[in-house]
Amino acid sequence: MTLTIKVYSDYVCPFCFLAEKPLQEAAAGKDVQIEWMPFELRPYPNETLRPEGDYLQKTWEQYVYPMAKQMGIPIVLPRVSPQPYTHLAFEGYQYAKEKEKGKGNEYNHRMFTAFFQEEQDIGDIDVLTKLAGEVGLDEKEFREALVTRKYKEAHQRALKHAYEEANITAVPTFVIGDTVLTGVRSKETLEKIIEEEMKKQSFRDFGEGMACGIDGC
């Protein structure tokens, strides 16, 4: 049986972007399904951060840039100020998941690269529509979905699940079978957890709980 890996993330979290590569490497060649789950760090009307502010400047210099360099991942602190709200991008993600099989994860990756490598404003409908077209989605239909907020309720349900049901408090958070990990993890760590969870799942599928009584099995 396929092992499901859920990754809770926000498009403006640099560590979520950095977490993508080791996860893909750890999952390569294995019977796993990766599903990215929406999580807004600063939902509207909360103020978003400004890249010129001390907090982001220090965080990136001390943590983000050194980690990215060690991992060999090109990344920049986007100059979009203030940082965009991500609800429209996530509503686009709901569209991508529904309309095209396999496009959800591809769309998700494009949001990360557009923001953290190209400094594009992923809170802008025109930008989002162009990016959707780049991953093979129908631009006209995509734009209409965002303008009419067709997927607002689906996104709000996903957020409610993350906040209230899964009790996610920080991103990235990985849910790999029964194991929950928070923060960027190495390929080796993720690979080990994936293998352990696949063994546990295989054991359950084989017949966990089977027993014999006086009347037979």
If we measure between CA atoms, which residue out of 62, 58, 61, 78 comes closest to residue 17?
78
pLDDT: is 46 or 213 the higher one?
Answer: 46
In this predicted structure, the answer to whether residue 207 has a pLDDT above a threshold of 60 is no
Handedness of CA 179, 182, 184, 186 (dihedral sign): negative
Whether the full predicted model's pTM is greater than 0.85, yes or no, is yes
Read off the pLDDT of residues 70-86 as tens digits, 9 standing for 90 and up.
Answer: 999 999 999 999 999 99
Q: How confident is the model at residue 205 (pLDDT cuts 50, 70, 90)?
A: low
pLDDT > 80? residue 40 = yes
**151 φ/ψ angles, rounded to the nearest 5 degrees:** -105, 20
Name the least confident of 38-42, 44-48, 98-102.
Answer: 98-102
What's residue 28's pLDDT?
A: 96
How far from 211 is each of 46, 202, 207, CA to CA, in Å? 55, 18, 9
Q: In whole angstroms, what is the distance from residue 102 CA to residue 75 CA?
A: 25
Both tokens of 66, joined, read: 């050194």
Q: How far apart are CA 33 and CA 27, in angstroms?
A: 9
Place 201 in a pLDDT band, splitting at 50, 70 and 90.
confident
Contacts of 149 (CB under 8 A, 6+ apart): 91
Interval 141-167 mean pLDDT: 97
107 in Cβ contact with 92 (< 8 Å): yes
CA dihedral 126, 41, 111, 171 (to 10 degrees): -170
CA distances to 10, 42, 60, 143 from 49, rounded to whole Å, are 14, 9, 13, 26
- The 3-class SS string of the chain reads CCEEEEEEECCCCHHHHHHHHHHHHHHCCCCEEEEEEECCCCCCCCCCCCCCCHHHHHHHHHHHHHHHHHHCCCCCCCCCCCCCCCHHHHHHHHHHHHHCCCHHHHHHHHHHHHHHCCCCCCCCHHHHHHHHHHCCCCHHHHHHHHHCCCCHHHHHHHHHHHHHHCCCCCCCEEEECCEEEECCCCHHHHHHHHHHHHHHHHHHHHHCCCCCECCEC
pLDDT at 214: 77
